[in-house]
């Protein structure tokens, strides 16, 4: 038998969670067409390309269900760096921060909101986004026409829909019944065009231009419910769609369970991260999710296998922007911002808020987990890598004052790094192994100058499975492949089976990992972003075409990805 591509002697993790087996895998026309045990003595298989995978593992490509490539895909069809890190399918539009639908007069506002909420460069967005669309369907058609390296599925975004209907008022007030009805029709149309679902956010950490809440945060529960119902209406005889929300503390799991019950659709809850200063909060949510599933509701919690570490300057202090006491500084620049940061009353309010317990916030006053990464002055370079609590003791001050004073002294150019959440590994392990959690939250495509978790799948395989033995390698592969494929209804993906898409990752299980972060300058205009290299990856294939090897993304990688617009019910 003749094939396009043949993997011989691979240790196959098929994505089901079953133990691995030594197998040969044959590919033709973008599909897996045959499998056999590697010790089959009747060797009648031949291929144009044969890969001896002895000593290596073959698995389905990683499905990254929480990315923000909505803008990047219009200028960069590779969706770098994800394919080189083993990702063959991405889901965009998470948290409702999409760029379609978008009226021409709202483009500037949309970009400015993304600059604030997703840590994106306004100049990069202005240089990069190809705005050859207005409706969600036109956006999908543009993505389909231009193609991409990985497969892509897209949520229709709440903040985008709200802005399309309400303009600037979307971030200022509740919607009227008539406005909600218009939004619902936009959601119905997006589902007809092939949206994977409807995404939103109620998180207080999500602020847009000038410090205003992202539009979805102003939506009443009735608005959420109306739009979820619109998402769930039958299309071509099938009900479909996943409701995804990054929830704030005011949105209990019980309400989301009700939304799942009314719509009959899965609800995906983000971002469930462990907070060392309020360690039981995330487990209370997971307990509520368990109870919802026991009552027959499909509710899933998105968790991360990566510690949430973030680089920032006080000119764009994302870790603090969800604090109520930081609101006077939001949206300010230059002398006005410096005046607020220097104000003793502002500082005292910050101290009071950080000393009080909270259900969820990014920064919780753990000054031992914050340090200066890059001092802007020669005099302060001696303080680099020193935790701020230790630096404060050395200088005889308070850590908050030390951070603000150093930043002001250096014209807000000081780069700090904070270990924010998910750093207690025994507790994180419990979350990763929870029966109703989904390991994801890479945020790939966003926060490009702050952090890069696009290699989360390699980190799960290497650090958590191989090194810590927190789960079997087979289970880690299932978490990254067939589990999300089943939730989203990605038919023919997530398993190594005959007839399934040949989206594949070949890796060395003894060395697989994500490398350290470093800066590259490949965004529009030469702007920088954080990049992570793969370790132990020998090849990545989308629809049977190699897109990355051990050296990273192939130059001129084929645009082999499919825009996924049909889903199992």
Measure the CA–CA gap between 87 and 557, rounded to whole angstroms: 14
566 contacts 553 by C-beta, under 8 angstroms? no
Q: Is residue 519 part of a domain?
A: yes
Is 449 inside a domain boundary? no
**122 plus 219 within the same structural domain:** yes
Domain boundary residue, one of 384, 418, 452: 418
pLDDT value for 361: 79
User: Are 194 and 235 within 8 A, CB to CB?
Assistant: no
Structural domain ending residue among the three candidates 403, 418, 433: 418
**What do you get for the CA distance between the two ends of the chain, in Å?**
36
Residue 84, domain member (yes or no): yes
Q: Are residues 256 and 330 in the same domain?
A: no
- The per-residue pLDDT for 304 is 97
Specify whether 328 is located in the same domain as 263.
Answer: no
**CA dist list (Å): 8 to 22, 52, 290, 357, 406:** 9, 5, 42, 56, 58
In CATH, what number is assigned to the domain containing residue 88? 3.20.20
Q: Sort residue 232 into left (φ over 0), alpha (ψ -120 to 50) or beta.
A: alpha
Same domain, 95 and 200: yes
**Claim to verify: residue 359 and residue 256 sit in the same structural domain:** no
pTM metric for this prediction = 0.91
d(CA 442, CA 464): 16
Nearest to 57 by CA among 28, 86, 90, 27: 86
Among residues 394, 418, 442, the one where a domain terminates is: 418
444 within a domain of the structure (yes/no): no
Residue in the structure block whose two tokens are 């909270």: 358
Q: How far apart, in whole angstroms, are the C-alpha atoms of residue 233 and residue 81? A: 36
* Beta-bridge partners for 540: 505, 548
Counting every residue, how long is the chain? 569
For residue 290, being part of any structural domain is answered with no
Does residue 376 belong to any structural domain of this protein? yes
With respect to residue 315, please indicate whether it lies within any of the assigned structural domains: yes
Q: Where are the alpha helices (H) located in 122-278, listed in sequence order? A: 122-128, 136-146, 158-166, 177-193, 221-232, 253-263
Rounded CA-CA distance 93/349 in Å is 35
Question: Could you tell me if 406 and 488 lie in one domain?
Answer: no
Asked if residues 307 and 186 have their Cβ atoms less than 8 Å apart, the reply is no
Number of domains in the chain: 2
| Phi, psi of 269, deg, nearest 5 | -105, 125
pLDDT at 66: 98
Q: Which residues, other chains included, contact 541 with Cβ-Cβ below 8 Å and sequence gap of 6+?
A: 5, 27, 61, 88, 502, 503, 504, 505, 506, 547
Q: Which of 158, 167, 162, 46 minimizes the C-alpha distance to 106?
A: 167
Q: Are 107 and 243 found together in one domain?
A: yes
Residues 89 and 198 in one domain: yes
* Domain boundaries, position 398: 311-418
Same domain, 109 and 251: yes
Same domain for 334 and 409, yes or no, is: yes
Q: Residue 425 domain-assigned?
A: no
pLDDT, averaged in runs of 10, over the chain (569 residues): 92 98 97 90 83 97 98 97 98 97 98 87 94 98 98 98 97 97 98 97 89 94 96 82 92 94 95 88 96 97 92 88 90 93 97 86 89 93 94 94 96 92 94 98 84 93 98 98 97 98 98 90 87 96 98 97 93
Q: From residue 198, give the alpha-carbon distance in Å to each of 116, 268, 485.
A: 22, 10, 17
Q: Within a 13 Å sphere around the CA of 556, how many CA atoms are in the beta-carbon half?
A: 0
One domain, residues 257 and 175: yes
Longest dimension (CA), the chain: 80
Q: Are residues 176 and 324 in the same domain?
A: no
Residue 109 confidence (pLDDT): 96
Q: How many CB atoms lie within 10 A of CB 443?
A: 27
What integer pLDDT is reported at residue 209 of this predicted model?
84
């Amino acid at each position: 038998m003749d094939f396009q591509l043949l993997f011989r002697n691979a240790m196959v993790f098929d994505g089901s969670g079953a133990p691995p087996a030594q197998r040969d895998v044959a590919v033709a026309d973008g599909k897996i067409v045959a499998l056999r045990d590697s010790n089959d003595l009747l060797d009648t298989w031949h291929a144009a390309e044969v890969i001896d995978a002895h000593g290596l593992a073959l698995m389905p490509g990683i499905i990254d269900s929480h990315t923000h490539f909505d803008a990047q895909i219009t200028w960069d069809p590779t969706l770098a760096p994800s394919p080189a890190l083993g990702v063959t399918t991405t889901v965009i539009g998470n948290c409702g921060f999409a760029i379609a639908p978008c009226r021409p007069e709202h483009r500037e506002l949309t970009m400015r909101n993304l600059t604030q909420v997703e840590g994106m460069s306004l100049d990069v967005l202005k240089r990069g986004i190809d705005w050859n669309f207005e409706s969600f369907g036109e956006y999908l058609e543009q993505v389909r026409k231009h193609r991409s390296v990985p497969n892509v599925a897209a949520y229709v975004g709440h903040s985008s829909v709200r802005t399309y209907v309400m303009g600037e008022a979307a971030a200022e007030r509740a919607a009227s019944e008539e406005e909600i009805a218009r939004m619902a029709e936009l959601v119905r149309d997006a589902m007809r065009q092939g949206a994977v679902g409807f995404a939103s956010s109620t998180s207080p950490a999500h602020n847009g231009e000038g410090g205003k809440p992202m539009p979805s945060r102003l939506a009443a529960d009735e608005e959420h419910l109306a739009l979820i119902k619109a998402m769930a209406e039958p299309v071509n005889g099938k009900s479909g769609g996943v409701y995804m929300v990054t929830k704030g503390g005011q949105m209990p799991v019980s309400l989301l369970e009700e939304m799942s019950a009314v719509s009959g659709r899965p609800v995906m809850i983000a971002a469930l991260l462990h907070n060392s200063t309020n360690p039981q909060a995330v487990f209370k949510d997971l307990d509520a999710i368990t109870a919802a599933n026991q009552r027959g509701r499909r509710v899933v919690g998105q968790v991360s296998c990566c510690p949430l570490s973030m680089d920032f300057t006080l000119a764009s202090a994302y870790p603090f922007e969800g604090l109520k006491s930081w609101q006077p500084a939001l949206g300010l620049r230059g002398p006005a911002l410096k005046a607020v940061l220097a104000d003793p009353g502002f500082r005292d309010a910050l101290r009071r808020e950080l000393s009080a317990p909270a259900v969820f916030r990014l920064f919780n006053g753990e000054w031992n987990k914050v340090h200066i990464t890059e001092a802007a002055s020669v005099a302060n370079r001696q303080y680099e890598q020193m935790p701020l609590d230790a630096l404060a003791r050395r200088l005889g001050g308070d850590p908050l004052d030390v951070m603000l004073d150093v930043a002001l002294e250096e014209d807000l150019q000081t780069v700090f790094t904070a270990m924010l959440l998910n750093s207690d590994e025994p507790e994180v392990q419990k979350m990763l192994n929870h029966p109703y959690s989904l390991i994801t939250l890479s945020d790939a495509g966003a926060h490009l100058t702050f952090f890069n978790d696009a290699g989360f799948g390699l980190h799960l395989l290497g650090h958590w499975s191989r090194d810590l033995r927190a789960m079997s390698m087979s289970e880690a592969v299932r978490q990254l492949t067939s589990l999300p494929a089943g939730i989203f209804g990605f038919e023919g993906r997530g398993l190594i089976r005959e007839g399934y898409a040949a989206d594949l990752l070949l890796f060395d299980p003894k060395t697989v990992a994500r490398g350290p972060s470093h800066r590259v300058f490949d965004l529009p205009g030469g702007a920088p972003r954080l990049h992570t290299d793969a370790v132990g990856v020998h090849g990545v294939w989308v629809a049977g075409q190699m897109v990355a090897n051990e050296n990273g993304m192939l130059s001129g990688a084929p645009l082999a990805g499919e825009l996924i617009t049909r889903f199992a019910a």
